[in-house]
Amino acid sequence: MTKLLMPYITGGVVAGWTAYLRAFEDAGADLIEVGLPFSDPTVDGPTIQEASDAALARGATPGSILAEVAADPVTIPLVASTYANLALRPGFGDALTAAGVTGLIVPDLPLDELDQLQVPGIAVSLLASPATPDDRLAEIGKRSQGFVYAVSVMGITGERDRLAPSAATLATRLKQITDLPILIGFGISSPEQAAEAAEVADGVIVGAAVMRRILDGASPATLGAFVGTLRAALDVR
């Protein structure tokens, strides 16, 4: 089975940011995670926090970001990610649907509070953590839609030197309780790490490593090339 590759981008981070979406698609991404920036991103590390601040400073709003997505569509599925304060606002699901977004990740909305989220027609993917006990993991497997987001490590988003051993353990546990694809995220920073994660999981999510390059001024072509190296590493196996 082909391994899935989902690069992340903070919506509105720079002018013309949707060009990165096309570059990701052309480079072989299977899905793209579009972050709708929140003022207080408690699950994110410094890189994505900086990107969120940059987008908000440019005046980006969920509405403006989704409008830009709708105006410049790609053909692969788009998964929005944001925080509960934005996702629980009335009309949020309709706004996603209108922009052609089909999936959603809300990292601070766990299983227990999920019933509050009203986004019909949107596949809500839940996060699983190395600390999640078995019974809860089973429930996450049942209620997650589209895929399960396996958080590789006890921590926040950000690049890391190596893949935490907890990533493979968690992916293995998840494979036993659900048939949904398991995507590993948090800390996947290089093609080598992507390949290593995909040995047990069905794919990877790459966020901070992408965003650091964008914040450093890399062009869509450069990012496309980086995503291409991730694609190649996943396909070599």
Catalytic residues: 33, 44
Smaller CB separation from another protein, 13 or 227 = 13
Rule CB under 8 A: say whether 126 interacts with another protein: yes
Smaller CB separation from another protein, 28 or 130 = 130
List the structure tokens of 128: 């699983």
**Of 14-22, 61-69, 203-211, 227-235, which part binds another protein (CB under 8 A)?**
61-69
- Nearest residue to 131 (alpha-carbon basis) of 166, 172, 165, 83: 166
Interface mask (CB under 8 A) for another protein, residues 25-44, using x and -?
-------------xxxxxx-
Neighbours of 165 (CB within 10 A): 11
3-state secondary structure (DSSP) of residue 28: coil
- Nearest residue to 76 (alpha-carbon basis) of 134, 132, 160, 2: 2
> What minimum distance in Å lies between the beta carbon of 2 and another protein?
27
Rule CB under 8 A: say whether 22 interacts with another protein: no
Q: Which residue has the tokens 């051993």?
A: 165
Q: Cα torsion at 19, 22, 23, 25 (round to 10°)?
A: 160
> What minimum distance in Å lies between the beta carbon of 35 and another protein?
14
Smaller CB separation from another protein, 112 or 179 = 112
CA separation for the pair 137, 178 (Å, rounded): 9
Question: Which residues of this chain interact with another protein, rule CB under 8 A?
Answer: 38-43, 45, 49, 53, 56, 61-63, 83-86, 88-89, 107-113, 126-133, 136, 140, 151, 154-156
